Amino acid sequence: MSKDRLIFVANDDGYMSKGFRAAVNLAREFGEVIAIAPERVQSGMSQAITINSPLFLRLTEESEGLKIYALSGTPVDCSKIAFDHLFKERKVDLVISGINHGSNAAINVMYSGTMGAAIEGSFYGVPAIGLSLDDHDADADFEGAVKYGREIIASILGAAEHLPRPLCLNVNFPRCAADEIQGVRLARQTRGFWKEEFYERTDPHGRNYFWLTGAFQNAEPMAEDSDEWALKHRYVSVVPVQTDMTDYGMLRSLDGVL
């Protein structure tokens, strides 16, 4: 561990989640850790920020080289208050967000609070890594995620000064035993979408309400360069992500039309 490094850790499952604790413990192998996570589960919050209510930040744990805070806001709020308040006078070497309970492969990257926090951290010129395990169980086995996460973090820290910015990686671990993971694959985001279903029910007061469910529809299940293919075949998928949502192909197609 380098005592000169400062690692920021966030997530979207809340400061009490097993995955968050795994990320904190992993980060401590690489330097001093300051972690901020939401008070409660904030899955699916994407890049949401809190603007209509105050934020409450409280220290929940402190020991040598470690401080953990709980915040009453979203995952992106966690990153913003870290960089714009706690780290005003300090250099951060790495952002780790996760380890998320559930995959953030394919279109999930757009909805993920875990990736929202990582992406936000990358805006400050700091390498950021979102870590997610393809297992929603609250007591999921993070051994493989920690093992391969350690290798990925070490590689990025070792090469950080030579890599361009912003740098943000969407890393997903397959749901299997650590010794069954086949390795690490650089991949691209799978094309697909969620087909939602809304289950309608009636409460005791006669009011209708809905539960959102659904399933991911993979538009290219045979594409071997995608993150979904990697996870299905027990590889760790690593997808570099960007926030420029300009459709450059459509920009050229529209030239002369508008």
Secondary structure of residue 99 in the 3-state scheme: strand
| Token digits of residue 226 | 């995608």
pLDDT of residue 186: 98
What is the pLDDT averaged over residues 83-103? Answer: 97
Helices marked H in the chain: 18-27, 75-81, 108-111, 113-122, 143-159, 227-232, 248-254
pLDDT of residue 256: 87
Q: Are the beta carbons of 8 and 124 closer than 8 angstroms? A: no
What is the pLDDT averaged over residues 184-210? Answer: 96
- In the chain, the percentage of residues whose pLDDT exceeds 90 is 95
Q: How confident is the model at residue 154 (pLDDT cuts 50, 70, 90)?
A: very high
Q: Where are the domains of the chain?
A: 6-189+217-254
Q: Are the beta carbons of 83 and 92 closer than 8 angstroms? A: yes
- Per-chain mean pLDDT for the chain: 96
Predicted TM-score (pTM) of the model is: 0.95
pLDDT of residue 1: 56
- Cα separation, 42 vs 71, in Å, equals 11
> What architecture is domain 6-189+217-254?
3-Layer(aba) Sandwich (3.40)
What is the pLDDT averaged over residues 52-57? Answer: 98
Q: How confident is the model at residue 98 (pLDDT cuts 50, 70, 90)?
A: very high
- In the chain, the percentage of residues whose pLDDT exceeds 70 is 99
CA distance to 76, 119, 130, 234, per residue, from 191 (Å):
25, 20, 20, 19
